[in-house]
Amino acid sequence: MSTIVIASLNARYIHASLGARYLLANMAELRDETRLIEHDINTSLADVAEGLLRDKPRIIGLGVYVWNASEARELVQIIKTVSPETVVVLGGPEVSYEIDDQEICKLADYVIPGQGDLAFAGLCRLILKGDLPQDKVYRPSAFSLSDIALPYDEYTGEDIARRVIYVEASRGCPFRCEFCLSSLDKTVYPFDLDRFLGEIQKLYDRGVRSFKFIDRTFNLKTATSIRIMEFFLDKMREEPVYVHFELVPDKLPDELKAVISRFPEHSIQFEIGIQSFNPDVQALISRKQDNKKSEANLRWIRNETNAHIHADLIVGLPGEDVTSLANGFNRLVALNPHEIQVGVLKRLRGTPIIRHTRDFGMRYSPLAPYTILSNELIDFATMQRLKRFARYWDMIGNSGRFKHSRTLLLGSNPFERFLDFSDWLHARCGRTHGIALERLFGFVYQAMTGNFGIAPAEAEAVLMQDYLASGLRSEPRFMYDMAHKHEHSNDVGKRPTETRQRRHS
C-alpha cells in the first residue's frame, strides 16, 4: 500500500524521469510509503488513472512538462472526478508560471512552482498531519544542492537495461536566451564533483554504459569538464562507454580539445545549439554567440575528433525571415554535422520571448507545446511548409539512412533544394508521419531523377549504398518501379525471374 504516489507521464517509455527520481530520493521518512509510477503519454489515461488509484493513495504528485501538458490535464480531470478526496499536487516547469491561467492548476489541490526536490516531501508531511496549507501555491524554500539526496539509486535494474539514464553535474545557465526557461536562472550551480562522480561510479558498477548529461552548459568550467571526461576515458580502457554532453558552441579551449580528441569512435555525442547565425536575431533574443568561433569549433570537432555532432537551429525566431533561416541552414550544412535538428519555436511558459509578441506579430498555438503559427516575417502557410521541412529533414537528413544520397539530393543550395523536395513530397503523399522506409526510398529516387535532373545511374549508385545499409531485406522497388513502370502492364505486381536474379547478383 502506498500513501503517496509520484507519477510521471513521459514522452516515451525509454525516457526515465530524473525529476521524479529526485522527489523519491528526498522523501526521507516517507520513502517507504511512497511509490513511483511511470507511464508514457501514449497510454490510455483512464488506465493510467486506474493504476495510480489502485492502492487508494492519499496524495498523487504529478510532473507537468510542455510535452505532457494536455495529457496531464486530462489525467487530473479523471482522478478528481472518480476520486475527489485524493490530493493532487502538481510540479514541473509547465505549472511554475502563469499558474492562475491554467485549468490544470485549478483542478489540482496544490502547485509547487520551481525546484520541488525538498518541497514535495515537506508539503506531503503537512497534508498527512492534517495541517493543510491555505494557499494552493506552495513555494519552495531556498536550498543548496548539497542539501538534497541524489537520485541515481532510484534507477532500477530495468531502467539500466532498457532506458536512457539521465544525469546532471550542475543546474542553471548563465546565458539569457529568451526562448529557454534556463534564461530565468541567475547562474550555474554545480553539484559537489567528488560526490557526483561517486554516484556515477555506482551507476557504472551497476552496468550503466550510456550516460546522458542534461547540463545546459557542460563546458562552461573547463577544469570540471576535463575531470568528468577523464573519468569516462578511464572507464573506456575496460569496455565501451557512451556519453552525451551539451556544449556552448563558442567556448572550446585547447586543453579541452586535447581531452575530446582522445575519445574513440562511437563514444561521445555533443549537442550544440546554434539556433541562429543572424547577429541581429541573436541580439533580439539576448543570445551571446561568437559565430566565427562557433563555426571553427564545429569544424574542428567534425574533422579532428570522433565525436557525433547534433546541432540545433530554430524556426520562427523574432526578426528571422526565410532568407535568413536559409542562410543559417546552408551555413550549418557546410559544416557537416551528423545531425541538424530544425526545431520550431515554442512559447514556453515564463520565458521572456513573450516580450516580442506585439512588435513582431508572434502568434502561437494556444495548445501545448505552444508552437509558433506565424509572425510578421513568416505567414501561416509558409510556417506550415517549414514545419514539414523540419519533419522530412528528420526522416532523411538526420536518420542516418540516407548518408550517401543526402549530398546529391541537396545539391549546391541545400535549403532551397530540400524545401522544394518537402513541398513535392507532401503533395505526393499528404502526410509527414507513417511513411514506410521502402516507400521513402522511392520518393527520394523519383525526386532526384524526375525533379532535380540527376542521372538515374548516379542516383541509383548512392541510393543502393544507403538501401543496403538500412537493413531492408526486400528487393529495392524504387529502381524497379521507375525503370519498368511501362513494362508488364498486363501483369501488375509480378517481376520476371531473370530480372529478380539479375538484381540479386
- 245 shares its domain with 290: yes
From CA 383, how far away is CA 352, in angstroms rounded? Answer: 22
In the numeric block, the cell 494556444 is attached to 366
Domain boundary, last residue among 116, 145, 174: 145
Question: Residue 440, Cα to own-chain centre: how many angstroms?
Answer: 24
| pLDDT of amino acid 478 | 67
Whether 388 is in a domain gets the answer no
Burial of 279 per CB tally in 10 Å (0-12, 13-18, 19+): exposed
Q: What pLDDT tens digit does each residue of the chain (505 aa) get?
A: 689 999 999 999 999 999 999 999 999 999 999 999 999 999 999 999 999 999 999 999 999 999 999 999 999 999 999 999 999 999 999 999 999 999 999 999 999 999 999 999 999 999 999 999 999 999 999 999 999 999 999 999 999 999 999 999 999 998 889 999 888 887 899 999 999 999 999 999 999 999 999 999 899 999 999 999 999 999 999 999 999 999 999 999 999 999 999 999 999 999 999 999 999 999 999 999 999 999 999 999 999 999 999 999 999 999 999 999 999 999 999 999 999 999 999 999 999 999 999 999 999 999 999 999 999 999 999 999 999 999 999 999 999 999 999 999 999 999 999 999 999 999 999 999 999 999 999 999 999 999 999 999 999 999 999 999 988 877 777 665 554 443 443 444 444 344 344 333 3
Q: What are the start-end ranges of the E strands in 30-108?
A: 34-40, 59-63, 87-91
Beta-carbon neighbour count of residue 390 at 10 Å? 20
Cross-strand bridge partners of residue 36: 6
Domains of the chain: total: 3
Whether 308 is in a domain gets the answer yes
Q: Give the CA distances from residue 370 to residues 38, 62, 207, 229, 476, in Å, rounded to whole numbers and listed in that order.
A: 24, 21, 39, 37, 40
Whether 159 is in a domain gets the answer no
| pLDDT of amino acid 182 | 85
- 206 shares its domain with 352: yes
Beta-carbon neighbour count of residue 367 at 10 Å? 9
- 340 shares its domain with 205: yes
- 320 shares its domain with 404: no
- 251 shares its domain with 217: yes
Whether 73 is in a domain gets the answer yes
From CA 138, how far away is CA 261, in angstroms rounded? Answer: 47
Beta-carbon neighbour count of residue 362 at 10 Å? 21
- 345 shares its domain with 425: no
Residue type, 161: A
CA angle 199/263/407 to nearest 5° reads 125
Whether 155 is in a domain gets the answer no
Whether 387 is in a domain gets the answer no
- 475 shares its domain with 334: no
Peptide bond into 369 cis (omega under 30): yes
- 124 shares its domain with 180: no
Q: What is residue 175's DSSP assignment?
A: -
From CA 247, how far away is CA 253, in angstroms rounded? Answer: 12
| pLDDT of amino acid 242 | 98
- 282 shares its domain with 346: yes
- 427 shares its domain with 494: yes
Whether 390 is in a domain gets the answer no
| pLDDT of amino acid 481 | 54
Close Cβ partners of 74 (under 8 Å, ≥ 6 residues apart):
45
- 267 shares its domain with 334: yes
Q: Give the CA distances from residue 48 to residues 9, 42, 184, in Å, rounded to whole numbers and listed in that order.
A: 9, 10, 33
Burial of 462 per CB tally in 10 Å (0-12, 13-18, 19+): buried
Domain boundary, last residue among 349, 378, 407: 378
Segments forming the whole domain that contains residue 15? 4-145
From CA 9, how far away is CA 40, in angstroms rounded? Answer: 5
- 212 shares its domain with 334: yes
SS3 letters across 177-208: CCCCHHHHCCCEEECCHHHHHHHHHHHHHCCC
Q: Write the CATH number for 15.
A: 3.40.50.2300
Q: What single string gives the DSSP state of each residue in 353-372?
A: GGGGTTTTT-EE-SSTT-BE
Q: Write the CATH number for 327.
A: 3.80.30.20
Whether 245 is in a domain gets the answer yes
